[in-house]
Amino acid sequence: MGIVAGIEDCLMRMMTIPGAQRVTLVDCASGLAVAAAGREDLIDQHEDAAGVTDVVRAILTTPAFSATPAGDDVEEIIVCGTGGYHLLALTGADLDGHLLVHLLIDRENGNIALARLRLREVVHEMTGA
């Protein structure tokens, strides 16, 4: 999988989504941050990457979260907190060799439906899908 659109440009476009506070691009195979943008006072980008990788791995390896026996139908994960939403967008069916995007959206200023649509557009552009 190659990156088609520039990473920095894509991160900046993700940060224009209403309510966006922080975005981290994560290498799923290693669990490390590739790049990040937005508020740095929330969490270290590498701590963020490791945490979201653990969450995604747990979901992808749990049969209850899949509608197919192969478990390859998860495209995104939404975690709703009292202050905001965490959107985790996967760029492939599994974690090995793929990237994922963690976008934190402020609950008061964001719109989860709009954020999902806009994030999906930028991820597709970024990956050339």
Nearest of 73, 29, 20, 65 to residue 50 by alpha carbon: 29
Count Cβ neighbours within 10 Å for each residue of 60-69 and write b for 16 or more, e otherwise.
beeeeeeeee
Looking at the structure of the chain, the number of domains it has is 1
Whether 2 is in a domain gets the answer no
pTM of the model: 0.86
Whether 39 is in a domain gets the answer yes
pLDDT digits (tens, 9 = 90+) for 22-70: 999 998 888 999 999 998 777 788 888 999 999 988 888 887 887 776 6
CATH code: domain of residue 93: 3.30.450.30
pLDDT of 95: 54
pLDDT digits (tens, 9 = 90+) for 85-99: 999 998 865 555 678
Whether 72 is in a domain gets the answer yes
pLDDT of 64: 81
Range of the domain at 33: 7-127
Write down the mean pLDDT value for the chain: 85
Q: Is the pLDDT of residue 129 over 80?
A: no
Nearest of 122, 56, 98, 29 to residue 114 by alpha carbon: 122
Spatial distance between the Cα atoms of 100 and 104, rounded to a whole number of angstroms: 13
Confidence category of residue 2, pLDDT binned at 50, 70, 90: very low
